[in-house]
Amino acid sequence: MISPSPIPKNIETMMKKIFATLLVFLPFVGMNAQECPLVGNILQRNITSLNGKWHYIVDVQEEGYYDYRMNPTRWGFFRNAKPQRPEDLIEYDFDKAATMQIPGDWNTQDERLFFYEGTVWFKHSFQYQPKEGRKALLYFGAVNYEAIVYVNGEKMGRHVGGFTPFNYDVTKYLKKGENVVIVKVDNKRHKDNVPTQIFDWWNYGGITRDVLLVDVPDTYVENYSLQLAKTVAQPKAKKAAPATLVFSARLNEKKAGEPVVLSIPELKLKQQLTTDAEGVVNASLTLGKKQRLQLWSPDAPKRYHVEIASGSETLVDSIGFRTIETRGKQILLNGQPVFLKGVSMHEERPNGGGRANGTQDARTLLSWAKNLGCNFVRLAHYPHNEYTIREAERMGIMVWSEIPLYWTISWTNAGTFDNACRQLTDMIRRDQNRANIIIWSIANETPHSAQRDNFLSRMAQKARELDSTRLISMAMEVTGASNYVNRLQDNMNQYVDVVSFNQYIGWYRDVNDAPKMKWEIPYDKPVIISEFGGGAKAGYHGAKNQRWTEEFQENLYIENTAMLDKIEGLSGTTPWVLKDFRSPRRVLDGIQDYYNRKGLYSDKGERKKASYVLEEWYKTK
């Protein structure tokens, strides 16, 4: 039996917060007229892939967008013009240009563009057949960094941010037969961007994730949230309280009286709901005694087949249910203390780099993490692709997901804050139903200031408004010690649920001093060491005090893990980093060669000696 009422106070509060999340599905101020709120569960929609070979033109001085006075020109490359007479002068031709695989970065597909930061134009043609009562949405998984999108010569909009999805309603711009999409992509770095001008990873440019044409009804389910409510503990209760699922969904239109049916066949749950004047449904569904809910966990990553039907549309998803919370200095998964045996990782392919995308890339990297004994990964320093999140959920790996508020952000710039909020919102929108995501992270290694605290405290508040079911954290840092006493002091402690920080004892400071170190963390909250480690080139051997050898890195891990065991409230670690990754900041010839060498694996998947130290340490946790 399903009991839709009464609603306990804590669940009512949760529903209000989820409804607030659904409200932000409305267009942002300044959103382009054709851009529509992000569509959830995109991979289970009726989609046509536009992936494949796209023509591209490198435009160093952006002559395809500006005239020679730097004014936007109406004769730009987006027109895809062709000579109509022998004397016509048109100095570009997409159809004669080279092709590149999309999704993909240009840095590893065209050797001329390995270090390139600037504009590249992409063009793709596709067939379309209009359908009565249907809309067509053009979806981009991510484009780094700025994308200006045109369909059949008409501007759809501009998107800023390299790691989150966006989509346009292109229905009225498509025609029967051949259609053309052109994208101006620009990955130049700017001070007010998120991330800013300097960061320690490769600035892969291009259309780096899927491009999809999405067929939806005129009225469709825009997005939805289905979560397990946290049960209020009753000290004298002999039995656990029945499980309650909290569900919300929103249509793309404000239409009252529309039926929305939620079904979970394995639980014998089927509930018909009706939209309110905002086109929204909210429900709190308490399961009966016979509807025993199996919780998602790393040991048993159970997911349920879920169907959400409205009109002619039925969305299918695989959703796990779990609770995540803190109690004092402990992190509780499903009410039980858990140690997060983690590792940090970038979204980069093995064997030569390049932006990772797809289930196979995800499976390879996550399998390496599993071989270390990990039950947790920190996806640094930006939202990773959806395949990685879903594969980690299937494999039973918990996730820390982060936005790229990294190092020296323009804290007082309103546009920077708005862009960071947009990235945070789209990250949460896309992945809010993934049980394995337990932490939203809002920043990494940011220098202290009142302006920074103001910016980040508002970000933390925004994250909590968007999702009250997960923990909030950020990677703080400890960069020095007095008399071997390391003390974490950060005003942001009051805004996060988990105190996380990076420390590089043995590499950037205090070499060989880890055994002497003590730690003071004056907050009654769980602690995650979000980064520690040092560099080594795979196959380079020598004494344990010789930089860049595997033995140096191995000894660093031996000393650091012993030191970390002394930290009160230690609830997890994500050492830096899973594998060597490309970075233009790492220029030491013969050793770095534009790779950050702190990986526990080489770029080719070779395990370094330190990886076995970590694996053995995790066996004790």
**What residue spans define the domains of the chain?**
9-24+231-322, 35-215, 326-618
Position 352 scores a pLDDT of 87
> Residue 86's beta-bridge partner residues?
none
Cβ–Cβ under 8 Å, residues 531 and 489: no
What is the overall mean pLDDT for the chain? Answer: 94
Position 5 scores a pLDDT of 43
Q: What span, in angstroms and rounded, lies between the C-alpha atoms of 24 and 452?
A: 24
Q: What span, in angstroms and rounded, lies between the C-alpha atoms of 17 and 467?
A: 7
Q: What is the mean pLDDT of residues 48-54?
A: 98
Rounded to the nearest 5 degrees, what angle is found at the Cα of 481, between the Cα atoms of 475 and 485?
Answer: 100
Angle between helix 450-466 and 9-23 (nearest 10): 110
pLDDT class of 479 with cuts at 50, 70, 90: confident
Enumerate the H helices of 188-236 as residue ranges: none
pLDDT class of 494 with cuts at 50, 70, 90: very high
> Residue 343's beta-bridge partner residues?
377
Q: Is the pLDDT of residue 231 over 90?
A: no
pLDDT class of 116 with cuts at 50, 70, 90: very high
**Residue burial 447-467, b: 16+ Cβ < 10 Å; e: rest:** eeeeebbebbbebbebbeebb
Q: What is the mean pLDDT of residues 125-131?
A: 97
CATH number of 326-618: 3.20.20.80
> Is CATH 1.10.3720.10 what the domain over 35-215 is classified as, yes or no?
no
Nearest to 561 by CA among 526, 600, 536, 529: 529
Residue 407 DSSP symbol:
S
Q: Is the pLDDT of residue 445 over 60?
A: yes
Position 34 scores a pLDDT of 83
What does the block give as tokens for 364?
């390879």
Position 31 scores a pLDDT of 52
> Residue 249's beta-bridge partner residues?
224, 281
Position 114 scores a pLDDT of 98
Residue 524 DSSP symbol:
S
Nearest to 83 by CA among 72, 93, 75: 93
Element (H, E) at 378: strand 376-379
Count CA atoms within 13 Å of residue 578 on its CB side.
Answer: 29
Q: Is the pLDDT of residue 26 over 60?
A: no
**For residue range 396-410, what is the model confidence (pLDDT) as tens digits?**
999 999 999 999 999
Position 480 scores a pLDDT of 86
Position 289 scores a pLDDT of 85
Q: What span, in angstroms and rounded, lies between the C-alpha atoms of 535 and 313?
A: 52
Position 42 scores a pLDDT of 97
Q: What span, in angstroms and rounded, lies between the C-alpha atoms of 315 and 264?
A: 12
* Strand-strand pairing, 99-102 and 119-128: unpaired
Q: Is the pLDDT of residue 513 over 80?
A: yes
Q: Is the pLDDT of residue 266 over 80?
A: yes
Q: In this predicted structure, which of 1-5, 190-194, 263-267, 486-490 has the lowest mean pLDDT?
A: 1-5
Nearest to 140 by CA among 21, 60, 47, 26: 47
pLDDT class of 181 with cuts at 50, 70, 90: very high
**Residue burial 151-173, b: 16+ Cβ < 10 Å; e: rest:** bbeebbbebbbbbbbbbbbbbeb
Q: What span, in angstroms and rounded, lies between the C-alpha atoms of 351 and 579?
A: 10
Q: Is the pLDDT of residue 241 over 80?
A: no
Sign of the four-CA dihedral 383, 385, 391, 393: positive
- Tell me the percentage of the chain whose pLDDT exceeds 90: 90
CATH number of 9-24+231-322: 2.60.40
Q: What is the mean pLDDT of residues 259-266?
A: 98
Residue 429 main-chain phi, psi, to 5 deg: -55, -45
Q: Is the pLDDT of residue 149 over 60?
A: yes
Sign of the four-CA dihedral 370, 318, 498, 457: positive
Tokens 């950050």, located at residue: 596
Nearest to 492 by CA among 543, 446, 535: 446
Element (H, E) at 316: strand 313-319
Query: pLDDT: is 284 or 27 the higher one?
Result: 284
Query: pLDDT: is 479 or 325 the higher one?
Result: 325
Q: Is the pLDDT of residue 7 over 70?
A: no
